[in-house]
Amino acid sequence: MIPYGKQIISQDDIDAVVNILRSPLITQGPAVKAFEDAVAGYCGAKYAAAVNSGTAALHIACLALGIGAGDTVWVSSVSFVASSNCALYCGADVDFVDLEYGTGNMDMDRLEAKLESARIRPKAVIVVHLAGMPADLEKLHELSKKYGFKIIEDACHALGAAYRGEKIGSCRYSDITVFSFHPVKAITTGEGGMAVTNDAELHRRMKLFGTHGITRDAEFMEGETDGGWVYQQLELGYNYRMPDINAALGISQLKNLDEWIRIRNEYADFYFDRLKDIEQIELPGICDDRLCAYHLFVIKVKPDRRRYVYDSLREAGIGANVHYIPIYHQPYYRRTGRYKPLEMTEKYYSRILTIPLCPALKQKDLDYVAEELKRICSKI
């Protein structure tokens, strides 16, 4: 099966991991800080907190912003469930914002209308850069000033993407940006995630929440301390630490990131060119002021034909997929009875299909996918 995404592991990556395995510290050593600095430097943020998954990074981001019971968080409607689960972990309520049909990203006009009419305004908005295409951050930022909410970018698809000439993760328009290093993402640490910010206090709180809520820094301790051994638990935190083994892999992987994003764009260009004449297919929306990381390549077909195209691709050994089922369709969310179908989200979801695109594929794989799609579509 040609996968929709998969990692590339080089001998350098293996050597980097083995080096750590032979070193005194395989966790809580120097590699984590080095990886944090490397990612912060790459995307132009001041601070970074590495954790053991993108989900954990979303969770500490919510905790650091003080999201809790009684708060409401608004989230992109089509994403992986972790994008909104993180707010539920904190005891907050979640609501969803409808999307733009072309990119599947949060529709800022619909967000504005929802803010205008909302009885309860959100404490934070979690915006997903779906498939690696940055959402309209400037508009979102303007709305956040007007309506007083915080912004978390779920950039799990968008490491290496850029918005108006600046890397996603610069946090120019947001409080915190979150990345995942799961093997299907742009670079991998096995499992892993990171939250970047320009705010020292948010960074301190994220580090705290990722390490049991414990500090060893006398500056932040309460009362008199008994001696050098004292640590204090200041918050109810979690063990979300990234091991040095994984961080070393991340440092090594990061060196390839720009090249891999270039290949992803080259492959996307190939699909745009080869699929543009297939009338049964709609191609993904593009935005001139943004560099898409092409984590996914999402086409659209007629709703009543999608199952056939999906099944036919799978039969042909092509790992087609659907990213994603709207979060509010999930039984866990549906059961609450709180969510009504969103118009554009439903229209979008009924048509989407992800076809394979990642640097681990060869040109001949892409040729095959394009040929098969053409053949399959000629029958519908």
Give the x/- contact pattern for ligand PLP in 158-197, rule: CB under 6 A.
Answer: ----------------------x-x----------x----
| Residues contacting ligand PLP: total by CB under 6 A | 14
Of residues 113 through 132, those in contact with ligand PLP by CB under 6 A are 128
- Least Å distance, CB 295 to ligand PLP, is 7
Q: Which of 17, 48, 73, 82 binds ligand PLP (CB under 6 A)?
A: 82
Torsion angle of C-alpha atoms 190, 167, 126, 342, degrees rounded to 10: -100
Stretch that binds ligand PLP, among 53-61, 92-100, 271-279, 349-357 (CB under 6 A): 53-61
Stretch that binds ligand PLP, among 18-26, 67-75, 152-160, 357-365 (CB under 6 A): 152-160
The span from the CA of 156 to the CA of 191, in Å, is 12
Q: Which of 114, 123, 157, 264 binds ligand PLP (CB under 6 A)?
A: 157
Stretch that binds ligand PLP, among 21-29, 40-48, 150-158, 256-264 (CB under 6 A): 150-158
The span from the CA of 302 to the CA of 127, in Å, is 27
Q: If you ran DSSP here, which 8-state letter would residue 283 be given?
A: P
- Least Å distance, CB 321 to ligand PLP, is 12
- Least Å distance, CB 194 to ligand PLP, is 10
- State in Å, rounded, how far the first CA of the chain is from the last one: 23
Query: Length of the chain, please?
Result: 380
The span from the CA of 9 to the CA of 187, in Å, is 10
- Least Å distance, CB 157 to ligand PLP, is 5
The span from the CA of 100 to the CA of 103, in Å, is 6
- Least Å distance, CB 55 to ligand PLP, is 3
Place of tokens 């998969």: 6
Q: Does 134 bind ligand PLP (CB under 6 A)?
A: no
The span from the CA of 32 to the CA of 34, in Å, is 5
CB-count burial class (<10 Å; 0-12, 13-18, 19+) for 15: exposed
Q: Which of 55, 174, 198, 215 binds ligand PLP (CB under 6 A)?
A: 55
Sheet holding 72-76, edge to edge: 47-51, 193-197, 176-180, 150-154, 124-128, 72-76, 93-97
- Least Å distance, CB 188 to ligand PLP, is 10
CB atoms within 10 A of CB 330: 15
> If DSSP codes are grouped into helix, strand and coil, which group holds residue 375?
helix
Residues that bind ligand PLP (CB under 6 A): 53-55, 79-80, 82-83, 128, 154, 156-157, 180, 182, 193
